[in-house]
Amino acid sequence: MSQTALAKLADRISNRQAVIGVLALGYVGLPLARAFWSAGFNCLGFDVDRTKIEALAKGENYLKHLGEDFVAGMAASDRFEATTDFDRLGEADAILICVPTPLGPHHEPDLSYVEQTARDIGKRLRPGQLVVLESTTYPGTTRDVMLPAMMDAAKQAGQGHLVSGQDFLVAYSPEREDPGRKDASTQTIPKLVGGLDTTSGEVAAALYRHAIKEVIPVSSAEVAEAAKILENVYRAVNIALVNELKVILTRMNIDVWEVIDAAATKPFGFQAFYPGPGLGGHCIPIDPFYLTWKARELGETTQFIELAGQVNTKMPAWVVERTMLALNDEGKAVKNSRILVLGLAYKPDVDDVRESPSFELITQLQGLGAEVDFHDPHALAVPPTRNYKLLAGKRSIALNDAALAGYDAVVIATHHAAYDWDNIVEHAKLVIDTRGATRQVAGEKKHVISA
C-alpha cells in the first residue's frame, strides 16, 4: 500500500495533477505558490494572518515590490485558494513550508514556527504526501527537529505507523529569495534539493523541476541546509570586512566607496561588497548565528563568524557616534535635536523592514534625547516587531524641502531610487550618509558626513 501511495504521488507530480500546499504566504511562500500555479498546478496557500487571505481573495498583493498585478491572475483562477483552515493540509500532495526562523533573545535559534508547523502537518499526515522545508536553518533541522515533531503529532492522531521514506517523503530545499531584485525570480534562481532519503530527494527534485528553471539535487537534506548557511555566512563575513574597513578608512580620510570601486576593477579574485549602517533582512543578520549555536552544541567555536557578527551589530552605534560628532561640530547637542532618518526598509526600493538597522538607529538616537522621525516611500509605518515594540505605529513623514530644512540632521539609512539626492543635499542642514548615496552630488558638500 505504501509503495502504491508513493507511486501515485510521483505520477500526480509528473502529470501536474498534484495539489501543492504552501505554508506561510510571505516573501518566500507567495512567490513560490505563484511559481507552481504558473506551472499549471492546483495550489493551496496557508497562513495564520487572515488579512493576507482576504487580500489574496480580492486579488490584492500585499508584497508591493512584486507589483500590483502579481496575484491578480491567481485570484481569478480556480486553481488557487488561500485559507487559514489548516485542516485542509490533508488535501495537499506536496506541502512546502516557508515559515520564519528567527533568533531568540540570546541569539539562539527559534524553531517554534517550524515545530508548530510540523505538528500541524503531522495531525493530518496521510500516505503519499511530500513535505519540504524551505526555511533557513542549521544542518540537521529537517531530520532531527521537524520530522520528530511531525511524527509525534501523527502518533497522537493515530497515524504513528507511517514511516518516512516508505509512506510519505521529506526533503529540504532552501529558499533563495532576494526581495526587490529585478534580474532573478523564484523561477530563475537555481534550486537546491536534498531529501532525508534517496526517494524523497528524487521526488522533491522532480516536483520543483516543473516550476523552477534549474534544480540541483544534492546527496542529503543536511547538505542543502549547510549550503544555505554557507551562502549567508559568506555575505555576512564580507560585509563585516567592508564595514570594518569603512571605520578605519574614514578615520584616515579615505573614501571607502572609491576604494571598493577601485578594487572592483580587478577582473578576478575580488567581489565587491558594500558597507552600511548595519545588517538587515530575513537571512544575513540571523542565519550565521544558527551555525554558531549548532557548533557550540558540538563543542566547537566559530570565531570568524562571531567576529563578523560583532562588527556588523556595532555599525548602528558607529553611525550614531558620527551623527553626534557632526552635530557637535555645528554647536548642537544630540539631546533635543531633530533628526530625520531616510529609509526604514533594510534595502533599496522594497517595503521589507525585517531586521532593519534603521530601527536601532532610531532607538539609539531617541535614547540620547533626540526627536527622531523617518521617511520611506515604500514602508509607510513601523509594523509590530519583537525588539522595537515602542516604535510600532510610527509613520513616515511627508518629505519636502521645508521638512528637510527643519531637521538638524538627516541620516541616510537606505538609498531608495526615489530619493532626489541633489535636492536632499541642497535643503538639509546636515547630512549623515551611511550608503555613499550622495557621492555623485555636484558642488560643495561640507555639510555631508560619511558614516
User: Under DSSP, is residue 59 helix (H, G, I), strand (E, B) or coil?
Assistant: coil
Residues annotated as catalytic (active site), given as ranges: 283
Q: Are 19 and 41 in contact (CB under 8 A)?
A: yes
Rg (CA), the chain: 24
**Pairing label, strands 338-342, 371-375:** parallel
> Which triple of cell numbers denotes residue 443?
558642488
14, 206 in Cβ contact below 8 A?
yes
Return the DSSP state at 89: G
From residue 258, alpha-carbon distances to 250, 254, 310, 428 in Å are 12, 8, 25, 24
The label of the residue with cell 563543542 reads: 299
Query: Taking a C-beta distance cutoff of 8 angstroms, is the pair 224, 174 a contact?
Result: yes
- Give 357-360's long-range contacts (Cβ < 8 A, gap of 24+): 357/276, 357/277, 357/278, 357/279, 357/280, 357/315, 357/316, 357/413, 358/277, 358/280, 358/413, 358/414, 359/385, 359/387, 359/388, 359/391, 360/278, 360/316
Q: Which three cell numbers stand for residue 307?
A: 567576529
Cβ atoms of residues 50 and 85 within 8 Å: no
115: CB partners within 8 A, 6+ apart:
145, 146, 149
Count of CA atoms in the C-beta half-sphere (13 A) of 90: 10
The CA-CA-CA angle for residues 37, 39, 44, to 5°, reads 25
Q: Write the CA distances from 165 to 29, 45, 143, 346, integer angstroms.
A: 25, 25, 12, 40
208: which 3 cell numbers?
A: 520543483
Q: Are strands 338-342 and 409-412 parallel, antiparallel or unpaired?
A: parallel
Q: What are phi and psi of 210, to 5 degrees?
A: -70, -30
